[in-house]
């Protein structure tokens, strides 16, 4: 996703940028982009700073870490950036001072936002995706999806009546 810096002026302009899923080269566990990533933003310039304020939207297909079902999740995330244009000789000295500012060479006419998108999407992606909070998962013994039906092996181990009996016998 590339933004044309020359077209951004003191007058705020509304832009819509899109990146194809393959372009971003995301490598996430149990998750794949199923739509392009869209950045709808307002952009303006104030002296040598360029402000980009907007919303990133996309849909992710995730695989539930417990039952392995695949499901889609739409995301809508705020991404506000400030690009600070600096002459090349100042770029190196100031490059690591502030984190909220992105230092770029004032000679650039375009800026690629792929890294910012990758960071945003990766941070938002759950480490352990679940189709729902209380997903019962698969039976570790027979592989039955316990959201859909029970199985005999689990009922024997987790039957609350057995638990109650165990407690009784422990107390005696
Ligand atoms: Zn699940
Ligand atoms: Zn089972």
Enter the DSSP assignment of 159. -
Q: Which ligand is nearest to the CA of 69?
A: 1
**86-121 exposure pattern, b = at least 16 Cβ within 10 A, e = fewer:** beeeebeeeeeeeeeebbbeeeeeebebeebbbebb
What spacing in Å lies between the alpha carbon of 164 and ligand 2's midpoint?
Answer: 22
Residue 52 reports pLDDT greater than 70: yes
Coil, helix or strand for 163?
helix
CA 66 / ligand 2 centre spacing (Å): 14
C-alpha 140 to ligand 2 mean position (Å): 7
Per-residue pLDDT tens digits for 67-125? 999 999 999 999 999 999 988 887 765 555 545 678 899 899 999 999 999 999 999 99
Domain range summary for the chain, segments of one domain joined by +: 2-135, 136-172
Q: What is the dihedral of CA 119, 123, 127, 128, to 10 degrees?
A: -120
**How much is the average pLDDT of 14-33?**
93
Q: Which residues of 4-41 are buried (b: 16+ CB within 10 A; e: fewer)?
A: ebeebeeeeeebebebebeebebebebbebebbbbbeb
Predicted local distance difference test score (pLDDT) of residue 138: 94
Tell me, what's the pLDDT at 172? 47
| The model's pTM | 0.79
Cα 145 to ligand 2 centre (Å): 9
Residues constituting the chain: 172
């Amino acid at each position: 996703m590339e933004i044309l810096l020359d077209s951004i002026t003191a007058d705020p302009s509304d832009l819509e940028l899109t990146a194809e899923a393959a372009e971003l080269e995301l490598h996430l566990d149990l998750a794949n982009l199923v739509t392009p990533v869209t950045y709808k933003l307002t952009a303006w310039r104030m002296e040598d700073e360029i402000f980009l304020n907007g919303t990133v939207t996309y849909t992710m297909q995730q695989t539930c870490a417990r039952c392995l079902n695949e499901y889609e999740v739409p995301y809508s995330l705020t991404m506000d950036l400030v690009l600070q244009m600096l002459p090349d000789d100042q770029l190196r000295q100031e490059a690591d001072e502030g984190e909220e500012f992105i230092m770029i060479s004032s000679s650039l006419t375009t800026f690629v936002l792929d890294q910012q998108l990758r960071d945003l999407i990766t941070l938002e992606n759950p480490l352990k995706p679940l189709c729902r909070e209380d997903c019962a998962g698969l039976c570790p013994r027979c592989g039955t999806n316990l959201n859909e039906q029970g199985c005999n092996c689990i009922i024997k181990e987790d039957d609350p009546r057995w638990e109650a009996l165990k407690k009784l016998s422990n107390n005696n």
